[in-house]
Amino acid sequence: MAKEYNPYKEVVEIIEEAAKKMSFSKKDYEVVKYPERELKVSIPVEMDDGSIQVFEGYRVQHSSSRGPCKGGIRYHQDVDMDEVKALAVWMSFKSALVNIPYGGGKGAVKVNSKKLSKNELKNLTRRYTAMILPLIGPERDIPAPDVGTDAEIMGWIMDTYSMFKGYTVSGVVTGKPIEIGGSLGRREATGRGVMFMTREILHRLGMPVIGTTVAIQGMGKVGGTAARLLYREGCKIIAVSDVSGALFCESGLDINEITEYISNNEQKTLAEYEARGVSHISNTELLTCRVDVLIPAALENQITSEIAADVKAKIIVEGANGPTTSNADKILLKNEKTIVPDILANAGGVVVSYFEWVQNIQSLTWDEDEVNRTLEKIMIRAFNEVWDCCEKSSTNMRTGAYMVALERIVNAKKLRGVFP
């Protein structure tokens, strides 16, 4: 889908809007509009056939005012610097919103990782790690998985960094395999947070969880987890999708069966899935189907102004980063839709990444119940703070979330001052 916007420009506009609502002077928030560092690297990789390919990589640190920069690494063929900058800003605001001591960062490599062999992927990851090595570290900048990356890739990053240091540094990344310092509950954390926020907004709007109809775009780590957990809570999931297309069943999909199908399907797509009463629909049809809750949990720029006018869901819970363009946002608000914004809805991942980092630093392990219980407490506290801000300021949840986060970032910068 063609981009109708510059994601970095749009996130700056949201910051401006939140600052205006809070009567901040330009001096208070000007620095927040700009990343502290932007690194662009060329990554040569020897391919299995003996040829050399050079890939473009990035690491952006937006803000370290509240602590080390924190943010995932994305492997995707369409990524660019503006996208990485926007993702880094979102991470700063996400961390501030849930009030954990992190700033925001993001990394990416422009590559279709599915076209690489495991050996090529490992070599790419290790060389990329070496190229960004001066920026990362457990006290400086802590990567994590994102689109196109996973726990195994985080393990390679940790090992590469540790080889340069001469000793094991578990806390340099989060989202690692459990066996080498990862946290229980980390893989499901973002999707679990989406479930908590969906449940909470339903309660606030006086709607029952049981029987509420839901459509979910994306059946990966975020969407798939959210689908399973909401299904378990009693929601009726009537549409889901992945890169191959979408499934629809008005009486409700069997999410347990679909999850098992995906895990047992070598290609891991829904294109070949068949079941009684289930039809295949387009991505646009999923986004505009008649449901109570729509959860876009794929990539940015999915709900555009063209699609927004036809969105029938009462509630949009943004599982992905930046799935709604600013023009679409205005249309949805005009049509009285309730939007739980990305920096709140999908903050579960960074919260449990923080738990993992703390466990690594203290050489401790938490059980999964403790992780999930503390995650729920933090997410609901953040939701309540945003809700209260919205009521006090008579604004929507996106602006309210940015107001809560911006105040924390601005106050940290004021307390620290501008060096020198």
**Is residue 149 situated within a structural domain?**
yes
Is residue 100 located within the same domain as residue 194? no
**Is residue 267 situated within a structural domain?**
yes
Is residue 131 located within the same domain as residue 202? no
Is residue 131 located within the same domain as residue 217? no
Boundary residue ending a domain (277, 311, 345): 345
Is residue 228 located within the same domain as residue 154? no
pLDDT value at residue 2? 43
Is residue 206 located within the same domain as residue 243? yes
Expressed in percent and rounded to 5, the helix, strand and coil fractions of the chain are 50, 15, 35
Is residue 149 located within the same domain as residue 209? no
C-alpha 248/C-alpha 42 separation (Å) is 43
Contact 110, 76 (CB under 8 A): yes
Which listed residue (85, 94, 106, 413) is catalytic? 106
**Is residue 137 situated within a structural domain?**
yes
pLDDT value at residue 79? 95
C-alpha 109/C-alpha 44 separation (Å) is 12
**Is residue 358 situated within a structural domain?**
no
pLDDT value at residue 265? 78
Is residue 229 located within the same domain as residue 165? no
**Is residue 17 situated within a structural domain?**
no
Would you write out the chain's pLDDT as a tens digit for each of its 420 residues? 444 568 899 899 999 999 999 999 999 999 999 999 999 999 999 999 999 999 999 999 999 999 999 999 999 999 999 999 999 999 999 999 999 999 999 999 999 999 999 999 999 999 999 999 999 999 999 999 999 999 999 999 999 999 999 999 999 999 999 999 999 999 999 999 999 999 999 999 999 999 999 999 999 899 999 999 999 999 999 999 998 899 999 999 999 999 999 888 766 789 889 999 999 999 999 999 999 999 999 988 899 999 999 999 999 999 999 999 999 999 999 999 999 999 999 999 999 999 999 999 999 999 999 999 999 999 999 999 999 999 999 999 999 999 999 999 999 999 999 888
Is residue 159 located within the same domain as residue 218? no
DSSP state of 50: S
Boundary residue ending a domain (295, 324, 345): 345
Is residue 40 located within the same domain as residue 168? yes
Q: Which two tokens stand for residue 218?
A: 């994306």
Domain count within the chain:
2
Is residue 128 located within the same domain as residue 228? no
- CATH number for the domain spanning 138: value is 3.40.50.10860
**Is residue 20 situated within a structural domain?**
no
Is residue 72 located within the same domain as residue 196? no
Boundary residue ending a domain (345, 364, 395): 345
CA atoms within 13 A on the CB side of 411: 9
Is 85 annotated as catalytic? no
**Is residue 375 situated within a structural domain?**
no
Look at residue 327 and give its three-state secondary structure: helix
- CATH number for the domain spanning 338: value is 3.40.50.720
C-alpha 321/C-alpha 326 separation (Å) is 13
**Is residue 405 situated within a structural domain?**
no
Q: What domain range includes position 326?
A: 189-345
Is residue 197 located within the same domain as residue 64? no
pTM of the complete model: 0.94
DSSP state of 5: S
